[in-house]
C-alpha cells in the first residue's frame, strides 16, 4: 500500500472499480451486477415494489412499513415535526411522543411525503434543445427552458409533482413524477436523548447505541389511513453477518464524477470557507445555550444541524487532503482521458474539456472570496445585514417604473413583502456574535483598502465594531424600519445607518461579482455536460451517477470494521447503551431518560441494537430502510462512521460503514420500554390490528 505520509508510490495508485460508488438508479437497475456479486437476480417486480415502498420526506428518506400507511424514518428527520406538534405545557423533545390510538396521531403542518410513481427518459428532448445553442449561455438557457417545459407538461398531464433529474453530469435526463401526500401525522418519536444518544461526540462513529427512529402515518384525501399497495414487511431477526442488504433512499449529493481541478477548488476554497463558518456557528450556539438553558427547545436543533455539518466538512476536507485518495481520482481521470483520446469520434470534441474546466476554476478563485464577503444573506450572516440588503433591494426596485419591477415589488405582493420583511426571531445576543463572525470574514477577504469596509469598521476590530454598530443602527427598531420602507426610496439609499450605507455602497460590486460567477458557472456547466456525455459514452451505466437527492438502491453486506486497533462487531447490544450511560457518570449526552433507567425483566439486553454494513450512503439517506433480498426491513440507516465522510468524492468499503438501527432492537424498545404495543403489532402483521373498545 502507498505511503500516506509522502509521495512514495503515489504514481502507482490505481482507481478502484467502485470509486464512483454503488448508488444505483431505478432507471438502470444493476440486475446483472447483483447476480454476479450476490447470486441474486431480482426481477422488475422486485425493483418496482422497492421503489413504490420508499418515500422522500423533507430533507430525508422514509418508507411505508404497513398497508395502512405507517411510515418509518429517523428521529433526526422528525425533529421539526415534533416541535411543530408540541402543545402548550408539553416538551416532546424531552419526553418523546406516542399516540396510543389512531385518534391521537397528530397532523404535522407543512409536512409531506413524496412517492416516486413515474420515471421517463427525456434525454433526447433536452439534448436537442441544448445542442441548438450557439454559445454556452444559449445552451444552458435552452436546457433550462426545455426542463421547465417538460416539468410543466408532465404535471398537467399526470397531476403529479414532476422534476427533471440530471444523471452523469447531464449526459442523461429523467422525468420523475411524485405522488405527494400532505396529510402526514406523527405516531411515535423517542426522547431526543435517545434519538441522538451520545450527541455530537458519538456522531459519525461506530460502535453506536442510538434509537434514531420515528413513525408517521400517511392519510388519504378522506382523512383515513392510506391503503398502501406497496410497503416493506418487518424482519423480526434482522440480517446476519456478511448477508447482502440494500439501502433504499435518496442520497443528497456526491461529487464523484467531478474533475480533479473541480475537487481542488472545493478543497482549497469552498470547503474551508464553509467549515470556518460552521465551526464558529457551533461555538456560538454552544456558548449561548450554556448561558441560556431555557432556550434549548428553540435553538438545540440549530446546534445539532451546525455540528453535524461541521463534521461533514471535516470529513470532506480530510478526504480531499489525503494524497492517496487524490491519486485515485487522478488515475480515474487519466484513464478516462486516455479512453476518449483513443476514439477519434470523441477526441476532438471532448479532450479539450478538462483544460477548459481547469481554467474556469482558476477564474473562480480570483473572485470568490470577495463575492462571498459581499453576500449579505445565508450561512453565518447577521440578520441586520440581511435586512439592510432587503431594504436596498426594495429601494432600487421602487425607483423603477412599476412595469419594470420584479413581481414581488408590485401591488399586493409589495404590501405583503413589506409586512413580512422584518425578522420575527431577532435575538440580540446571538446577532452580535453572528455580526462579529461576518465582519471577520469581510476583514479577511476584502482587504485593508476597501473604502466601504474602512468606513464600517473605523479602525475597530470585528468584535469591537459589532458592539458599536448595534448601538448605532436603527435597524433594531421595527417601527423605524417600517417608516423607512414606506417612505421614498432615496431615503433608504442615502441612509446613514451603517448597515444600509455599507450595502448601498457595495451592492453594484456585489451584483457584478455574482454575474461574473454565474457566467463562469454556466460555462462550467456546459463543459461538465460535455464531459458527462464522454464519460457515459465510455462507461455507460456500468457506474452509477452522482447522487442528486433522488431515489437510489445501494448494495452492501452486513459487516464489522477495524476499530481503534481492534475489531468492532457488526452489531451492538443494549448492554453497550447502559455501559456508556454509567461509564460517563450518567452525564449528558450519555444520560438515559427516566423510563430507560429500570427496564422490565422482559427487556432482553442482548438484543442487537445498532449495526454496521458496507452500503454506500450520504446525507439524504437518513431514514432509508435497509432491506434484505425478501424486501424485509432489517434496519434503518441513520449515520455513517467518520471514515465514510470522504464518500462525497469517493467510495471505499475498506473502512467506510453505514450505521443503522437494528429491526429487532427497534421492536424490543417499542414493546418493553415504550409499551407501544399498537405499533409493534402493526409492524409484525404488516397492517393495523383494530383496537378493541
Band the pLDDT of 449: cuts 50, 70, 90. confident
- Per-residue pLDDT, 425: 86
pLDDT, one tens digit per residue, over 510-541 is 999 999 999 999 999 889 988 888 999 999 99
Q: Give the single-character DSSP code of 169.
A: T
Give the C-alpha distances (Å, rounded to integers) separating 295 from 77, 86, 299, 300, 428. 21, 15, 6, 8, 14
Cis? peptide before 359, omega within 30° of 0: no
Q: Of 7-21, 244-258, 376-390, where does mean pLDDT reach its minimum?
A: 7-21
Give the C-alpha distances (Å, rounded to integers) separating 367 from 360, 372, 376, 512. 11, 9, 16, 10
pLDDT, one tens digit per residue, over 129-175 is 999 999 888 998 999 999 999 999 999 999 999 999 999 988 899 99
Helices and strands (H and E) in the chain: how many: 26, 21
Contacts of 68 (CB under 8 A, 6+ apart): 217, 225, 226, 227, 228, 682, 687, 688
Q: Residue 635: which H helix or E strand, with range?
A: strand 632-640
Q: Of 1-10, 168-177, 314-323, 425-434, where does mean pLDDT reach its minimum?
A: 1-10
Distance (Å, rounded) from C-alpha 27 to C-alpha 11?
37
Does residue 3 register a pLDDT over 50?
no
pLDDT exceeding 70 applies to what percent of the chain? 98
Q: What is the 3-state secondary structure (H, E, C) of 435-464?
A: HHHHHHHHHHHHCCCCHHHHHHHCCCCHHH
280-287 mean pLDDT? 97
The whole-model pTM stands at 0.89
Q: Which residues, listed in sequence order, are joined to residue 249 by a DSSP beta bridge?
A: 552
491-506 mean pLDDT? 97
pLDDT, one tens digit per residue, over 187-234 is 999 999 999 999 989 999 999 999 999 999 999 999 999 999 999 999
Band the pLDDT of 482: cuts 50, 70, 90. very high
Band the pLDDT of 8: cuts 50, 70, 90. low
- Per-residue pLDDT, 190: 98
Band the pLDDT of 618: cuts 50, 70, 90. very high
274-292 mean pLDDT? 96
- Per-residue pLDDT, 35: 98
Distance (Å, rounded) from C-alpha 281 to C-alpha 287?
10
- Per-residue pLDDT, 655: 86
Q: Of 148-162, 291-305, 568-582, where does mean pLDDT reach its minimum?
A: 291-305
- Per-residue pLDDT, 7: 54
Asked whether 225 and 102 are in contact (CB, 8 A), the reply is: yes
428-446 and 462-472 are packed helices; what angle lies between their axes, rounded to 10 degrees? 130
Q: Which is nearest to 263 in space by CA: 335, 351, 332, 182?
A: 332
Residues of the chain with CATH 2.40.10.120: 13-112+182-255+546-693
Does residue 604 register a pLDDT over 80?
yes
Band the pLDDT of 690: cuts 50, 70, 90. confident
Q: Which residue has the cell 485518495?
A: 325
Band the pLDDT of 654: cuts 50, 70, 90. confident
Domain 13-112+182-255+546-693 in CATH 2.40.10.120? The answer is yes
Does residue 454 register a pLDDT over 60?
yes
Q: Which residues, listed in sequence order, are joined to residue 329 by a DSSP beta bridge?
A: none
Contacts of 516 (CB under 8 A, 6+ apart): 367
Mean pLDDT of the chain: 95
Beta strands in 9-74 (DSSP E): 23-25, 54-57, 60-64, 70-73
Q: Give the single-character DSSP code of 163.
A: E
Amino acid at each position: 500500500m502507498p505511503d500516506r505520509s509522502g509521495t512514495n508510490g503515489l504514481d502507482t495508485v490505481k482507481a478502484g472499480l467502485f470509486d464512483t460508488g454503488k448508488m444505483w438508479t431505478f432507471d438502470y437497475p444493476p440486475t446483472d451486477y447483483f447476480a454476479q456479486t450476490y447470486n441474486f437476480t431480482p426481477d422488475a417486480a422486485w425493483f418496482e415494489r422497492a421503489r413504490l415502498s420508499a418515500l422522500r420526506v423533507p430533507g430525508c428518506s422514509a418508507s411505508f412499513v404497513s398497508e395502512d400507511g405507517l411510515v418509518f424514518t429517523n428521529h433526526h428527520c422528525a425533529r421539526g415535526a415534533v416541535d411543530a406538534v408540541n402543545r402548550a405545557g408539553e416538551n416532546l423533545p424531552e419526553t418523546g411522543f406516542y399516540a396510543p390510538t389512531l385518534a391521537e396521531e397528530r397532523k404535522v403542518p407543512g409536512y409531506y411525503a413524496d412517492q416516486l410513481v413515474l420515471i421517463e427518459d427525456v434525454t433526447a428532448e433536452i439534448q436537442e434543445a441544448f445542442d441548438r445553442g450557439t454559445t454556452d449561455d444559449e445552451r444552458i438557457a435552452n436546457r433550462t427552458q426545455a426542463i421547465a417545459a417538460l416539468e410543466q407538461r408532465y404535471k398537467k398531464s399526470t397531476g403529479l409533482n414532476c422534476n427533471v433529474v440530471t444523471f452523469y453530469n447531464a449526459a442523461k435526463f429523467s422525468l420523475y413524477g411524485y405522488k405527494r401526500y400532505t396529510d402526514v401525522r406523527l405516531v411515535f418519536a423517542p426522547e431526543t436523548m435517545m434519538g441522538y444518544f451520545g450527541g455530537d461526540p458519538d456522531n459519525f462513529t461506530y460502535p453506536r447505541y442510538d434509537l434514531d427512529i420515528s413513525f408517521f402515518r400517511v392519510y388519504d384525501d378522506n382523512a383515513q389511513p392510506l391503503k398502501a399497495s406497496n410497503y416493506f414487511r418487518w424482519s423480526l431477526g434482522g440480517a446476519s453477518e456478511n448477508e447482502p442488504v440494500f439501502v433504499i433512499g435518496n442520497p443528497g449529493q456526491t461529487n464523484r464524477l467531478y474533475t480533479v481541478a473541480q475537487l481542488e477548488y472545493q478543497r482549497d476554497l469552498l470547503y474551508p470557507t464553509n467549515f470556518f463558518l460552521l465551526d464558529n456557528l457551533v461555538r456560538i450556539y454552544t456558548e449561548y445555550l450554556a448561558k441560556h438553558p431555557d432556550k434549548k427547545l428553540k435553538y438545540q436543533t440549530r446546534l445539532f444541524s451546525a455540528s453535524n455539518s461541521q463534521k461533514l466538512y471535516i470529513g470532506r476536507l480530510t478526504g480531499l487532503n489525503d494524497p492517496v485518495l487524490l491519486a485515485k481520482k487522478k488515475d480515474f481521470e487519466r484513464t478516462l482521458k486516455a479512453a476518449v483520446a483513443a476514439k477519434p469520434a470523441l477526441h476532438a470534441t471532448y479532450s479539450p474539456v478538462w483544460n477548459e474546466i481547469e481554467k474556469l476554476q482558476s477564474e473562480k478563485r480570483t473572485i470568490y472570496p470577495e463575492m462571498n464577503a459581499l453576500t449579505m444573506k445565508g450561512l453565518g450572516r447577521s440578520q441586520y445585514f440581511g435586512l439592510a440588503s432587503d431594504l436596498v433591494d426594495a429601494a432600487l426596485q421602487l425607483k423603477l417604473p412599476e412595469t419594470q419591477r420584479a413581481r414581488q415589488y408590485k401591488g399586493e405582493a409589495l404590501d405583503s413583502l413589506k409586512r413580512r420583511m422584518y425578522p420575527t426571531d431577532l435575538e440580540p445576543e446571538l446577532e452580535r456574535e453572528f455580526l462579529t463572525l461576518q465582519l471577520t470574514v469581510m476583514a479577511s477577504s476584502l482587504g485593508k483598502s476597501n473604502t466601504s469596509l474602512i468606513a464600517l469598521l473605523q479602525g475597530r476590530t470585528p468584535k469591537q465594531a459589532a458592539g458599536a454598530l448595534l448601538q448605532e443602527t436603527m435597524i433594531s427598531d421595527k417601527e423605524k424600519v417600517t417608516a423607512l420602507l414606506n417612505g421614498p426610496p432615496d431615503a433608504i439609499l442615502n441612509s446613514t445607518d451603517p448597515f444600509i450605507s455599507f450595502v448601498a455602497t457595495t451592492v453594484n460590486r456585489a451584483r457584478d461579482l455574482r454575474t461574473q460567477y454565474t457566467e463562469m458557472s454556466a460555462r462550467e456547466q456546459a463543459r461538465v455536460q460535455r464531459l458527462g456525455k464522454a464519460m457515459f459514452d465510455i462507461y455507460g451505466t456500468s457506474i452509477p451517477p452522482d447522487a442528486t437527492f433522488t431515489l437510489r438502491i445501494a448494495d452492501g453486506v452486513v459487516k464489522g470494521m477495524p476499530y481503534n486497533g481492534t475489531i468492532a462487531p457488526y452489531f451492538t447490544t443494549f448492554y453497550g447503551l447502559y455501559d456508556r450511560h454509567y461509564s460517563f457518570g450518567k452525564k449528558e449526552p450519555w444520560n438515559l431518560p427516566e423510563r430507560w433507567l429500570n427496564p422490565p425483566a422482559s427487556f432482553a439486553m442482548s438484543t442487537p441494537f445498532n449495526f454496521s454494513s458496507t452500503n454506500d450512503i450520504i446525507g439524504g439517506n437518513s431514514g432509508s430502510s435497509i432491506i434484505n433480498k425478501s424486501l424485509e426491513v432489517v434496519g434503518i440507516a441513520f449515520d455513517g462512521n467518520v471514515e465514510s465522510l470522504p464518500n462525497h468524492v469517493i467510495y471505499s468499503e475498506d473502512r467506510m460503514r453505514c450505521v443503522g438501527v437494528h429491526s429487532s432492537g427497534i421492536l424490543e424498545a417499542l414493546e418493553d420500554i415504550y409499551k407501544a404495543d399498537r405499533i409493534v403489532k402493526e409492524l409484525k402483521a404488516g397492517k393495523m390490528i383494530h383496537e378493541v373498545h
